[in-house]
Structure 1
Amino acid sequence: MRTLIVHNPKSGFGSDAIYQFQRALVREGDECVFRLLSPQMDAADAVKDAKGFDVVVISGGDGTASSVLMALAGSGVPTCVFPSGTANLFNANLGNTPEPQSLARACRIGKTADVDLGVISWTDDKGAAHERGFALMSGTGYDAQLMQAALPNKAALGQAAYYAAALENPRPEVVDFTVTVDGQKHTCHGIMCLVANNAMIQNEIQIVPNCRMDDGLLDVIVVEIANAAQLIGPLFLGLVDREGNKLGRPHIETFRGANIVVETSEPVPLEVDGESEGCAVTRYEARALPGAARVIVDAMSPYGKNAQVREGFGGTEDVDYPK
């Protein structure tokens, strides 16, 4: 078994869990290449030889996972996303265990599922065109403001930095959003608009129900409130009904489609997979990339039901997951 581990040493709190994973993964006769990301190495360079490996492991936060998954999009290379970041929402949405030994076992079993990615494009306030892939969600408005405000404290506080940023900005700006979904136009009024490939946030709360990464579609989520205090209601209902199928999500308007255009009444900040782009936009487009990423899944993942099962690599010393 040949494995490439691409690790971002600056993600999260510097946990050594990836090294526990590596020890659990490698067996006699295997080859494992451990490649550290640096500011001088982009995702495409890091995985340019990926097809020469049986498995690629992405170790880092959601931003790292998204950029490497996009670099591998359409390659068919089995990829394991190892949660080494602050929030690790991609792993949580995929439903895999975060435990190193269990993820190592899943890599050796080799069960994979093809999941969607998204692409977002925009023109910044200086007229320059940009395009980025995303695995989780992108957004404009209040969420992007929080991402930018949390940056100075993120390394020290982790997820708590986002809550601290929210307390410092309790009255976000209300904006008019014109959302065109597969050619159909909708008008909304609120503090943020998200385009999501999956919609589970911290504490396993689904912002909207039935948002999946294997349906070939993106979900548009508009939070139609006037101030941050009104978020308490939806968050409380999220804690009581985490999947959102029983009590619903008040003040949240949703749409679903493959091609999205979002226009705003005034310039608003933009974030992609939790990373602030540092610019304000009045328009952006997003589209789904169906089945673009082939990811390793374990027995805990709801995506395992439609997984592809290939001959594994064996050498598992623990009780095997059901195949």
Structure 2
Amino acid sequence: MRTLIIHNPKSGFGSDAVFQFERALVRAGDECVLRVLEEGFEASETCRDANRFDVVVASGGDGTVAALLHALAGTDVPVCVFPSGTANLLAANIGNAPEPSALARACRKGKTATVDLGEISWEDERGVRGTRGFALMSGTGFDAQLMQAALPNKAIMGQAAYFAAALSNPRPTVERFRITVDGAVHEREGITCLVANNAMIQGDIELIPDCRMDDGMLDVIVAETSDAAQLLKPLAFGLMDRTGKVMGRPHLESFRGREIRVEVDRPVALEVDGDVIPGLVTSYDARVLPGAARIVVDSMGPYASGDDGPSRFGGSDVIAYPDA
């Protein structure tokens, strides 16, 4: 088995769990390459030789992993998402058992699922154009402001930095959004507008129902409120109805499509999978990349069949699940 581990040591708290994973994974005769990222890394260059490996392990936060998945889009190389960031929402959405030994076992089993990615393009107020891939959510408004405000405290506070940032800005600016979804135009006012490939947040709460990474669609989510405190209502509903299919999500409206354009009346910040883009934008375009990524899954997650099946690479029988 040939494995390439790509690790971002600056993500999250700089956990050493990826090294525990490596020890659990490797067997006699294997080849394992550990590639540690530098600040400002170029994802396509980092993944230049990915095709010579049986599996690539993307270790970092959601932004790092999404960039690597986008660089590998269409290559059919299996990617194991290893949670080394602050929130690790992508790993939570995939639903694999998160312990290092469990992920090592999943890699040796070799079960995979094909999922979509999103791609977002923009031009900032200086005329600089950019394109990024995203696996979860990207958008403008209050969410981007939160990411920006939380950045200085993430290394110390972890996920609590986001809540502290929200409390510091209880009355965010209401924006006017012009949203074009597959040619249909919708004009809405609210504090944030997100484009989502998957919309499950902390606590396994789905912001909207049936937003999956394998449906060939993106979802646009608008928070139609003028007060950040009002967002507590859909979160409270989410604690009682995590899927949103029974009680709905007050103050949240959504649209679904493949090609999306979002325009704003004034320059605002833009975030892509939790990373705030330099500069301000007045519009962006997003599109779905159907089936662009092949991810490693275990038998417990929502993107895998329940049959554990035979091990593709062998040796998985000696890697026990935690506390097994």
Query: TM-score category by the smaller chain?
Result: over 0.9
The Cα of 1:162 is off from its aligned counterpart by: 0.5
The Cα of 1:273 is off from its aligned counterpart by: 0.5
**Counterpart for residue 205 of structure 1:** 205
Aligned residue for 1:317, secondary structure, equals: helix
User: Equivalences for 1:32-47 in 2 at 5 Å?
Assistant: 32-39=32-39, 41-47=41-47
- 1:206-255 CA-to-partner distances (Å, cap 9, x unmatched) read 10010000011100000000111111111111111111111100011100
- In the alignment, the residues of structure 2 paired with residue 306 and residue 212 of structure 1 have an alpha-carbon distance, to the nearest angstrom, of 18
Matched, 1:292 2:296: no
- In the alignment, the residues of structure 1 paired with residue 9 and residue 248 of structure 2 have an alpha-carbon distance, to the nearest angstrom, of 39
**Counterpart for residue 180 of structure 1:** 180
- In the alignment, the residues of structure 1 paired with residue 121 and residue 34 of structure 2 have an alpha-carbon distance, to the nearest angstrom, of 32
Matched, 1:149 2:152: no
**Is contact 2:179–2:262 with CA below 8 Å preserved after alignment?**
yes
Matched, 1:10 2:29: no
**Counterpart for residue 258 of structure 1:** 258
1:274 maps to a residue whose letter is G
**Is contact 1:110–1:309 with CA below 8 Å preserved after alignment?**
no
CA RMSD of aligned residues (A): 1.7
Aligned residue for 2:10, secondary structure, equals: coil
From the superposition, tell whether residues 303 and 170 of structure 1 become closer, same or farther in structure 2 (CA, over 3 Å).
same
From the superposition, tell whether residues 269 and 168 of structure 1 become closer, same or farther in structure 2 (CA, over 3 Å).
same
**Is contact 2:117–2:134 with CA below 8 Å preserved after alignment?**
yes
The Cα of 1:78 is off from its aligned counterpart by: 0.6
Aligned residue for 1:87, secondary structure, equals: coil
Matched, 1:25 2:25: yes
- In the alignment, the residues of structure 1 paired with residue 319 and residue 37 of structure 2 have an alpha-carbon distance, to the nearest angstrom, of 33
| Identity in percent | 64
**Counterpart for residue 168 of structure 2:** 168
- 1:117-155 CA-to-partner distances (Å, cap 9, x unmatched) read 011111101111111111111010000000000111011
Aligned residue for 1:285, secondary structure, equals: strand
**Is contact 1:121–1:129 with CA below 8 Å preserved after alignment?**
yes
TM-score (norm: length of structure 2): 0.96
From the superposition, tell whether residues 75 and 18 of structure 1 become closer, same or farther in structure 2 (CA, over 3 Å).
same
**Counterpart for residue 54 of structure 2:** 54
From the superposition, tell whether residues 68 and 307 of structure 1 become closer, same or farther in structure 2 (CA, over 3 Å).
farther
**Counterpart for residue 316 of structure 2:** 316
**Counterpart for residue 137 of structure 1:** 137
2:253 maps to a residue whose letter is E
- In the alignment, the residues of structure 2 paired with residue 265 and residue 210 of structure 1 have an alpha-carbon distance, to the nearest angstrom, of 30
1:269 maps to a residue whose letter is A
Aligned residue for 1:278, secondary structure, equals: coil
2:236 maps to a residue whose letter is F
- 1:72-102 CA-to-partner distances (Å, cap 9, x unmatched) read 0000001100001111011101111111111
Q: Relative to structure 2, which stretch is displaced further, 308-317 or 141-150?
A: 308-317
**Counterpart for residue 193 of structure 1:** 193
